[in-house]
RNA sequence: CGGGAUGUAGCAUAAUGGUAGUGUACGCGGUUUGGGACCGUGUGGCCCGGGUUCGAUUCCCGGCUUCCCGACCA
């Protein structure tokens, strides 16, 4: 991508109304555009990051047999009434609307009921199970208070997977597999060492529910963690947990974390409420077992910004960066240098390297370097008159600041 | 939803009961050219409604917006 073609521009100052680091940096660098409180558009750079995160999640979900689909944002009322979750008293984040004939509709804040309702048409026998389906969907939640930039919005992208089983054993076994898949996801996203699986709190499903919490100052949760990071307990269940584990509270220290995943087992609850059953080997009707598994894709993006961003701007883990290489062209007013830089860009791209090429002729070096730091692309490769003369490229690793001088051959070996 | 703030140009800000200044960004001209350089010049603005007043961006009332704290958060 030629930077001169990007419609987004970097800016020196963040809007005064953004306090969250993630929103400040993402807006300054041109990855997101704020539309209203808790609602952000993803511009081309931001979308690429989002898609990269999704792809990692997608690969891991596929690896445990998940089949991707996409449900709808418009939800019929009756399906949610079957489980008692249409009521605003029970679910206070509903956006509701009406068809022109006054039929009430809900805008999906989650999809358990939607999935189960759909699956009633496809699941008839124990031979049809298990089934695991997932989607990336925009969830709409009428939060009383949006906050923390893209980490808690009213509209956000979530990966939600649902697994249906004939038996509790099968569900439990699959659930454990997904826990491992989730660990791989966070590992690949670069936050594996800082992410903990904890018992979730609240509701009737506490003991069947787990959260994935990543250390993050901007998070809303508090985890009690021991020195070796082997024990991590959610503050909300602290007293019960330390009693159970037999550990003293003094050995744990509170740390702020952000919830990046939440998984839970419904068991047969939804199947019973919605009368979704299958025939077992004896020909008896049995309610399906259901478990669900969520990852907040946009929130994860925010967490990565919060964790890795520094005073100069964004710092993306290589696995999710919008581009791998930021090719920064200097002295481009010199046609000879420009041709050469263009050639490097073309060849790197042809070699399969994702390159953002700062081909702006009028921008000065200082501005380009500042932009490069702000954009957070993992590797900056400088092409300049100086470099052309000595046949070398300056390669700077954004995260560490490490500087290398590579020949053109080394450059291509390194990056393709 | 309770509490506290907030609203002036694309962005960041200043002053003001008599229609608004600066920085940045943007346009044009010129000098520069490895860390947001400089000179000149130009374009562009008072959240909405009502009230007080000769006159309101300013004061008052209401609304809306955005942010923060709390509550909430399958």
pLDDT per residue as tens digits for the range A140-159: 999 999 999 999 999 999 99
Separation of A257 CA and B52 C1' (Å) = 53
pLDDT for residue A250:
85
What is the mean predicted confidence (pLDDT) over A208-231?
88
Please give the model's pTM, rounded to 2 decimal places: 0.96
Protein-proximal positions, strand B, CB < 7 A: 1-2, 10-13, 23-26, 32-37, 65-74
pLDDT for residue A204:
43
Question: How many Å apart are CA A202 and CA A66, to the nearest integer?
Answer: 28
Q: Angle at CA A72, nearest 5°, toward A84 and A22?
A: 95
Question: How many Å apart are CA A413 and CA A416, to the nearest integer?
Answer: 6
What is the mean predicted confidence (pLDDT) over A186-208?
78
Residues of chain A with CATH 3.40.50.800: 325-415
pLDDT for residue A207:
62
What is the mean predicted confidence (pLDDT) over A331-340?
95
Please check the confidence at residue A202 and state whether its pLDDT lies above 70. no
More reliable by pLDDT, A207 or A101: A101
Q: Which nucleotide lies at the shortest CA–C1' distance from A262?
A: B74
Q: Which residues contact A93 (CB under 8 A, 6 or more apart)?
A: A109, A141, A142, A143
CB A381, CB A325: distance < 8 Å: yes
Residues of chain A with CATH 3.30.930.10: 3-308
Separation of A292 CA and B73 C1' (Å) = 17
Question: How many Å apart are CA A382 and CA A397, to the nearest integer?
Answer: 12
Closest CA to B36 C1' — which residue? A367
Q: Number of H helices and number of E strands within chain A?
A: 12, 21
pLDDT for residue A249:
83
Assigned architecture for domain A3-308? 2-Layer Sandwich (3.30)
Range A325-415 has CATH code 3.50.50.60 = no
Please check the confidence at residue A102 and state whether its pLDDT lies above 80. yes
Helix (H, G, I), strand (E, B) or coil at A50: helix
Looking at every residue in chain A, the average pLDDT score rounds to 94
């Amino acid at each position: 991508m030629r930077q001169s073609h990007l419609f987004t521009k970097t800016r020196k100052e963040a809007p005064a109304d953004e306090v969250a680091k993630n929103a400040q940096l993402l807006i300054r660098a041109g990855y997101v555009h704020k539309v209203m409180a808790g609602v952000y558009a993803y511009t081309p750079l931001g979308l690429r990051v989002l898609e990269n995160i999704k792809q990692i999640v997608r690969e891991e979900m596929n690896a445990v047999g998940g089949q991707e689909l996409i449900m709808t944002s418009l939800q019929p009322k009756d399906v949610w009434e079957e489980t008692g979750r249409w009521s605003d008293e029970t679910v206070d984040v509903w956006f509701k609307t009406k068809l022109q004939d006054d039929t009430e509709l809900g805008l999906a804040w989650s999809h358990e009921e939607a999935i189960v309702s759909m699956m009633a048409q496809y699941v008839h026998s124990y031979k049809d199970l298990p089934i695991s389906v997932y989607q990336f969907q925009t969830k709409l939640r009428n939060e009383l208070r949006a906050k923390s930039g893209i980490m808690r919005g009213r509209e956000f992208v979530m990966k939600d997977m649902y697994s249906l089983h004939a038996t509790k054993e099968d569900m439990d076994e699959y659930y454990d597999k997904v826990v491992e898949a989730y660990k791989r996801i966070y590992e690949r996203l670069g936050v594996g060492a800082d992410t903990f699986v904890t018992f979730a709190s609240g509701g009737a499903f506490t003991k069947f529910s787990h959260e994935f919490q990543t250390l993050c100052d901007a998070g809303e949760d508090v985890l009690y963690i021991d020195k070796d990071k082997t024990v991590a307990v959610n503050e909300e269940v602290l007293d019960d947990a330390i009693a159970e584990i037999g550990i003293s509270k003094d050995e744990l220290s509170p740390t702020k974390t952000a919830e990046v995943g939440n998984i839970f087992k419904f068991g047969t609850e939804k199947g019973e409420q919605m009368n979704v059953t299958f025939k077992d080997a004896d020909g008896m009707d049995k309610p399906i077992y259901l478990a669900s598994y969520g990852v907040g894709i946009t929130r994860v993006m925010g967490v990565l910004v919060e964790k890795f961003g520094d005073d100069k701007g964004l710092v993306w883990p290589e696995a999710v960066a919008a581009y791998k290489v930021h090719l920064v062209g200097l002295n481009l007013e010199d046609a000879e240098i420009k041709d050469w830089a263009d050639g490097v860009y073309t060849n790197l791209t042809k070699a399969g390297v994702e390159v953002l090429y700062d081909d702006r002729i009028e921008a000065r070096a200082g501005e380009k370097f500042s932009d490069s730091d702000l954009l957070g692309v993992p590797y900056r490769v400088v092409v300049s008159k100086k470099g052309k003369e000595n046949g070398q490229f300056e390669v700077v690793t954004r995260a560490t600041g490490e500087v290398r001088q590579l020949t053109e051959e080394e450059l291509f070996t390194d990056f393709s």
